[in-house]
Structure 1
Amino acid sequence: MKTVLQPVADKPTFNKSTKKSLWLEAWKKLKKQRPAMVGLGIVLVFVLMGILAPVLTSQPYDGFNPQKTLISPNADHWFGTDDQGRDIYTRIIYGARISLWIGFFSVIGSIIVGSFLGLIAGYYGKWLDTIISRFFDIMLAFPSILLAIAIVAILGPSLFNALVAIAIINIPTYGRLIRSRVLSVKEEEYIAAAKITGMSDRRLLFQHVLPNSITPIIVQGTLGIATAILEAAALGFLGLGAQPGEPEWGKMLADSRQFITSAPWTLLFPGFAIMLIVLGFNMFGDGLRDALDPKMK
Structure 2
Amino acid sequence: MLSKVPLFFTGLFLLLFIVSASIVFPLVLSEPEINPFRYSVALKKLEIPPYSPSKENWFGTDRYGKDLFYNLIDGAKYTILFACIITIGRIFVSFILGLFFKRLFKSSWFSDLIQSFQYVPQSLIVLLTLSPFLFYELRNEPMFTTSETLFVQLLVLIAVGVLQLGKIIAETTELLSRTEYVNCSKLMGASYFQITTKHILPHLWPRLIVIAGRQFAHVLTLMLHLAIYQLFIGGVQITSGQEHDQFINYATVSNEWTGLISAYHKELMLEPFIVLVPVTAFALLVLCINMMTKDLEHHVNKRSLFK
Q: TM-score, normalised by structure 2?
A: 0.72
Q: Distance in 2 between matches of 1:234 and 1:217?
A: 25
Q: Distance in 1 between matches of 2:209 and 2:7?
A: 18
Q: Residue 195 and residue 136 in structure 1: after superposition, are their counterparts in 2 closer, same or farther (change >3 A)?
A: farther
In the alignment, what sits opposite 1:288?
A: 296
In the alignment, what sits opposite 2:76?
A: 96
Q: Distance in 2 between matches of 1:163 and 1:50?
A: 21
**Gap runs ≥5 in structure 2:** 38-47, 136-148, 238-252
- 1:44 equivalent in alignment to 2:23: no
Q: Distance in 2 between matches of 1:251 and 1:46?
A: 18
**Alpha-carbon deviations, 1:19-50, whole Å to 9, x = none?**
xxxxxxxxxxxx85765455344433323332
Cα distance, 1:92 vs structure 2: 0.4
Q: Distance in 2 between matches of 1:126 and 1:88?
A: 49
Partner of 2:171: helix, strand, or coil?
Answer: helix
Cα distance, 1:214 vs structure 2: 2.4
* Worse overlay, 32-41 or 260-269: 32-41
The answer to whether the 8 Å contact 2:86/2:219 transfers is yes
Given residue 292 of structure 1, which amino acid in structure 2 is its aligned partner? Answer: V
The one of 172, 190, 197 aligned to 1:181: 172
Q: Distance in 1 between matches of 2:16 and 2:224?
A: 20
The one of 83, 88, 91 aligned to 2:63: 83
Given residue 212 of structure 2, which amino acid in structure 1 is its aligned partner? Answer: G
In the alignment, what sits opposite 1:138?
A: 116
The one of 125, 143, 147 aligned to 1:147: 125
Q: Residue 186 and residue 296 in structure 1: after superposition, are their counterparts in 2 closer, same or farther (change >3 A)?
A: closer
The answer to whether the 8 Å contact 1:120/1:129 transfers is no
- 1:236 equivalent in alignment to 2:244: no
The one of 63, 70, 74 aligned to 2:50: 70
**Alpha-carbon deviations, 1:71-115, whole Å to 9, x = none?**
111111111111222111111011111111221111111112212
Partner of 1:274: helix, strand, or coil?
Answer: helix
**Alpha-carbon deviations, 1:153-189, whole Å to 9, x = none?**
2553544444333323322442122112211232354
% identical aligned pairs = 22
Q: TM-score, normalised by structure 1?
A: 0.74
Q: Distance in 2 between matches of 1:180 and 1:282?
A: 24
- 1:212 equivalent in alignment to 2:215: no
Higher helix share: 1
Cα distance, 1:57 vs structure 2: 4.0
Given residue 259 of structure 1, which amino acid in structure 2 is its aligned partner? Answer: E
Q: Distance in 1 between matches of 2:28 and 2:109?
A: 51
Q: Distance in 1 between matches of 2:283 and 2:257?
A: 11
Given residue 115 of structure 2, which amino acid in structure 1 is its aligned partner? Answer: D
* Worse overlay, 233-242 or 108-117: 233-242
- State the superposition RMSD in angstroms: 3.1
Q: Residue 127 and residue 260 in structure 1: after superposition, are their counterparts in 2 closer, same or farther (change >3 A)?
A: closer
In the alignment, what sits opposite 1:16?
A: none
The answer to whether the 8 Å contact 1:139/1:172 transfers is no
Partner of 1:70: helix, strand, or coil?
Answer: coil
The answer to whether the 8 Å contact 2:182/2:195 transfers is no
Q: Distance in 2 between matches of 1:36 and 1:127?
A: 32
Q: Distance in 2 between matches of 1:169 and 1:162?
A: 11
Given residue 122 of structure 2, which amino acid in structure 1 is its aligned partner? Answer: S
Partner of 2:269: helix, strand, or coil?
Answer: coil
Q: Distance in 1 between matches of 2:89 and 2:101?
A: 18
In the alignment, what sits opposite 1:105?
A: 85
In the alignment, what sits opposite 2:43?
A: none
The answer to whether the 8 Å contact 2:31/2:70 transfers is yes
What is the aligned residue count?
Answer: 262
Q: Distance in 2 between matches of 1:202 and 1:153?
A: 44
Given residue 98 of structure 1, which amino acid in structure 2 is its aligned partner? Answer: Y
Q: Distance in 1 between matches of 2:66 and 2:162?
A: 37
Cα distance, 1:194 vs structure 2: 6.6
The answer to whether the 8 Å contact 1:110/1:174 transfers is yes
